[in-house]
Amino acid sequence: MRIVLLGAPGSGKGTQAALLEQRLGVPHISTGVLFRKAVKDQTPLGQRIKTIMDSGDLVPDDLTLELLEERMNRDDTKSGFILDGYPRNLAQAESLNILLEKLGMPVQEAVQIDVDTEEVVARIAKRAAEEGRSDDTEEVVRNRMRVYQEQTAPVVDYYAEQGLLTQVLGTGTIEEVLQLILSVLDQGEADRSD
Protein backbone atom coordinates (compact mmCIF):
# COMPACT_ATOMS: atom_id res chain seq x y z
CA MET A 1 0.00 0.00 0.00
CA ARG A 2 1.37 3.40 -1.06
CA ILE A 3 0.03 6.07 1.28
CA VAL A 4 0.40 9.83 1.67
CA LEU A 5 -0.48 10.92 5.20
CA LEU A 6 -1.64 14.53 5.49
CA GLY A 7 -2.43 16.57 8.56
CA ALA A 8 -1.65 19.77 10.37
CA PRO A 9 1.26 20.06 12.78
CA GLY A 10 0.14 18.31 15.96
CA SER A 11 -2.47 16.16 14.20
CA GLY A 12 -0.63 12.95 15.03
CA LYS A 13 0.75 12.15 11.56
CA GLY A 14 4.14 11.00 12.82
CA THR A 15 2.64 8.85 15.56
CA GLN A 16 0.14 7.24 13.20
CA ALA A 17 2.75 6.75 10.45
CA ALA A 18 5.00 4.86 12.89
CA LEU A 19 2.09 2.64 13.99
CA LEU A 20 1.02 2.04 10.39
CA GLU A 21 4.59 1.05 9.52
CA GLN A 22 4.40 -1.68 12.17
CA ARG A 23 0.91 -2.84 11.17
CA LEU A 24 1.37 -2.77 7.41
CA GLY A 25 5.03 -3.76 7.19
CA VAL A 26 5.92 -0.91 4.83
CA PRO A 27 8.43 1.86 5.59
CA HIS A 28 7.44 5.20 7.13
CA ILE A 29 9.23 7.84 5.07
CA SER A 30 9.61 11.33 6.50
CA THR A 31 11.53 13.92 4.48
CA GLY A 32 12.85 15.48 7.71
CA VAL A 33 14.35 12.14 8.74
CA LEU A 34 15.78 11.67 5.24
CA PHE A 35 17.42 15.11 5.39
CA ARG A 36 18.99 14.45 8.80
CA LYS A 37 20.25 10.99 7.77
CA ALA A 38 21.79 12.26 4.52
CA VAL A 39 23.54 15.06 6.45
CA LYS A 40 24.73 12.68 9.17
CA ASP A 41 26.00 10.15 6.59
CA GLN A 42 27.74 12.99 4.71
CA THR A 43 26.49 11.78 1.35
CA PRO A 44 27.08 14.19 -1.57
CA LEU A 45 23.38 15.08 -1.48
CA GLY A 46 23.56 15.35 2.32
CA GLN A 47 26.43 17.83 2.07
CA ARG A 48 24.39 20.02 -0.28
CA ILE A 49 21.39 19.79 2.06
CA LYS A 50 23.54 20.66 5.11
CA THR A 51 24.80 23.85 3.44
CA ILE A 52 21.21 24.90 2.74
CA MET A 53 19.91 23.99 6.20
CA ASP A 54 22.88 25.66 7.93
CA SER A 55 21.99 28.89 6.18
CA GLY A 56 18.44 28.62 7.53
CA ASP A 57 16.82 28.05 4.15
CA LEU A 58 14.32 25.35 3.24
CA VAL A 59 15.60 22.45 1.17
CA PRO A 60 14.44 23.09 -2.43
CA ASP A 61 11.87 20.76 -3.93
CA ASP A 62 14.26 19.39 -6.56
CA LEU A 63 16.72 18.18 -3.90
CA THR A 64 13.87 16.76 -1.82
CA LEU A 65 12.62 14.83 -4.84
CA GLU A 66 16.13 13.59 -5.57
CA LEU A 67 16.40 12.31 -2.01
CA LEU A 68 12.93 10.75 -2.21
CA GLU A 69 13.81 9.03 -5.48
CA GLU A 70 16.92 7.52 -3.86
CA ARG A 71 14.78 6.32 -0.95
CA MET A 72 12.00 4.92 -3.16
CA ASN A 73 14.52 2.85 -5.11
CA ARG A 74 15.32 0.73 -2.04
CA ASP A 75 13.87 -2.78 -1.93
CA ASP A 76 11.76 -2.18 1.19
CA THR A 77 9.45 0.19 -0.71
CA LYS A 78 8.46 -2.39 -3.32
CA SER A 79 5.41 -3.43 -1.28
CA GLY A 80 4.54 0.15 -0.36
CA PHE A 81 5.36 3.14 1.84
CA ILE A 82 3.84 5.76 4.09
CA LEU A 83 4.87 9.31 3.23
CA ASP A 84 4.58 11.63 6.23
CA GLY A 85 4.79 15.41 5.95
CA TYR A 86 5.27 15.53 2.19
CA PRO A 87 3.88 16.93 -0.06
CA ARG A 88 3.13 20.21 1.70
CA ASN A 89 2.00 22.24 -1.30
CA LEU A 90 0.46 21.71 -4.73
CA ALA A 91 3.74 21.98 -6.66
CA GLN A 92 5.26 19.26 -4.46
CA ALA A 93 2.18 17.04 -4.91
CA GLU A 94 2.37 17.35 -8.69
CA SER A 95 6.15 16.71 -8.76
CA LEU A 96 5.76 13.74 -6.42
CA ASN A 97 3.05 12.31 -8.66
CA ILE A 98 5.36 12.54 -11.69
CA LEU A 99 8.22 10.89 -9.79
CA LEU A 100 6.07 8.04 -8.45
CA GLU A 101 4.47 7.41 -11.84
CA LYS A 102 7.96 7.23 -13.36
CA LEU A 103 8.94 4.68 -10.71
CA GLY A 104 5.73 2.70 -11.26
CA MET A 105 4.64 3.38 -7.66
CA PRO A 106 1.69 5.79 -7.80
CA VAL A 107 -0.01 6.88 -4.59
CA GLN A 108 -2.92 4.57 -3.79
CA GLU A 109 -4.40 6.42 -0.82
CA ALA A 110 -4.14 9.90 0.70
CA VAL A 111 -5.38 10.08 4.28
CA GLN A 112 -5.89 13.42 5.96
CA ILE A 113 -5.98 13.37 9.75
CA ASP A 114 -8.42 16.17 10.53
CA VAL A 115 -8.08 17.89 13.91
CA ASP A 116 -9.72 21.12 15.04
CA THR A 117 -7.33 24.08 15.40
CA GLU A 118 -8.06 24.49 19.13
CA GLU A 119 -7.26 20.80 19.71
CA VAL A 120 -3.97 21.19 17.83
CA VAL A 121 -3.05 24.28 19.87
CA ALA A 122 -3.78 22.37 23.10
CA ARG A 123 -1.78 19.31 21.96
CA ILE A 124 1.26 21.31 20.94
CA ALA A 125 1.14 23.41 24.13
CA LYS A 126 1.12 20.17 26.14
CA ARG A 127 3.99 18.74 24.09
CA ALA A 128 5.96 21.99 24.46
CA ALA A 129 5.53 21.89 28.25
CA GLU A 130 6.51 18.20 28.46
CA GLU A 131 9.56 18.63 26.23
CA GLY A 132 10.55 22.09 27.48
CA ARG A 133 10.20 23.62 24.00
CA SER A 134 9.90 27.37 24.01
CA ASP A 135 9.42 27.65 20.23
CA ASP A 136 5.89 26.22 20.33
CA THR A 137 4.04 29.24 21.68
CA GLU A 138 0.33 29.62 20.97
CA GLU A 139 1.06 32.45 18.53
CA VAL A 140 3.63 30.36 16.63
CA VAL A 141 1.29 27.36 16.52
CA ARG A 142 -1.61 29.45 15.23
CA ASN A 143 0.65 30.89 12.53
CA ARG A 144 1.81 27.38 11.54
CA MET A 145 -1.86 26.36 11.29
CA ARG A 146 -2.63 29.33 9.02
CA VAL A 147 0.31 28.45 6.77
CA TYR A 148 -0.77 24.80 6.74
CA GLN A 149 -4.32 25.75 5.74
CA GLU A 150 -3.12 28.06 2.97
CA GLN A 151 -0.55 25.70 1.50
CA THR A 152 -2.05 22.28 2.11
CA ALA A 153 -5.69 22.92 1.20
CA PRO A 154 -4.76 22.68 -2.51
CA VAL A 155 -2.94 19.36 -1.80
CA VAL A 156 -6.06 17.98 -0.14
CA ASP A 157 -8.12 19.10 -3.14
CA TYR A 158 -5.54 17.58 -5.54
CA TYR A 159 -5.87 14.12 -3.99
CA ALA A 160 -9.66 14.48 -3.66
CA GLU A 161 -9.94 15.24 -7.39
CA GLN A 162 -8.03 12.02 -8.09
CA GLY A 163 -10.43 10.05 -5.89
CA LEU A 164 -7.60 9.14 -3.51
CA LEU A 165 -8.45 11.26 -0.45
CA THR A 166 -10.13 10.12 2.73
CA GLN A 167 -10.41 12.27 5.83
CA VAL A 168 -10.44 10.75 9.29
CA LEU A 169 -11.17 12.54 12.52
CA GLY A 170 -7.93 12.76 14.49
CA THR A 171 -9.52 13.11 17.92
CA GLY A 172 -9.87 10.24 20.34
CA THR A 173 -7.18 7.89 21.52
CA ILE A 174 -4.17 7.05 19.38
CA GLU A 175 -5.56 3.52 18.93
CA GLU A 176 -9.01 4.82 17.90
CA VAL A 177 -7.48 7.05 15.22
CA LEU A 178 -5.30 4.15 14.04
CA GLN A 179 -8.36 1.93 13.69
CA LEU A 180 -10.14 4.62 11.63
CA ILE A 181 -7.16 4.84 9.29
CA LEU A 182 -6.86 1.06 9.00
CA SER A 183 -10.56 0.77 8.15
CA VAL A 184 -10.10 3.37 5.39
CA LEU A 185 -7.11 1.48 4.02
CA ASP A 186 -8.97 -1.85 4.15
CA GLN A 187 -11.87 -0.27 2.25
CA GLY A 188 -9.46 1.18 -0.32
CA GLU A 189 -7.92 -2.25 -0.85
CA ALA A 190 -11.39 -3.78 -1.29
CA ASP A 191 -12.36 -1.09 -3.83
CA ARG A 192 -9.23 -1.71 -5.91
CA SER A 193 -9.79 -5.45 -6.01
CA ASP A 194 -13.30 -5.07 -7.52
Helix (H) or strand (E) holding 90, with range, is helix 90-102
Check if the beta carbon of residue 86 is closer than 8 Å to that of residue 99: no
The β-bridge partners of 28 are: 82
Name the active-site residue from 74, 78, 133, 146: 133
Q: Is 102 a catalytic residue?
A: no
Name the active-site residue from 23, 126, 127, 192: 127
> Is cis: bond before 87, omega within 30 of 0?
yes
Q: Is 74 a catalytic residue?
A: no
Q: How many C-beta neighbours within 10 Å does residue 86 have? A: 22
Q: Is 127 a catalytic residue?
A: yes
Measure CA 8 to chain center. Answer: 10
Q: Is 13 a catalytic residue?
A: yes
Check if the beta carbon of residue 38 is closer than 8 Å to that of residue 67: yes
Name the active-site residue from 13, 50, 71, 123: 13
Check if the beta carbon of residue 125 is closer than 8 Å to that of residue 105: no
Active site residues: 13, 88, 127, 133, 144
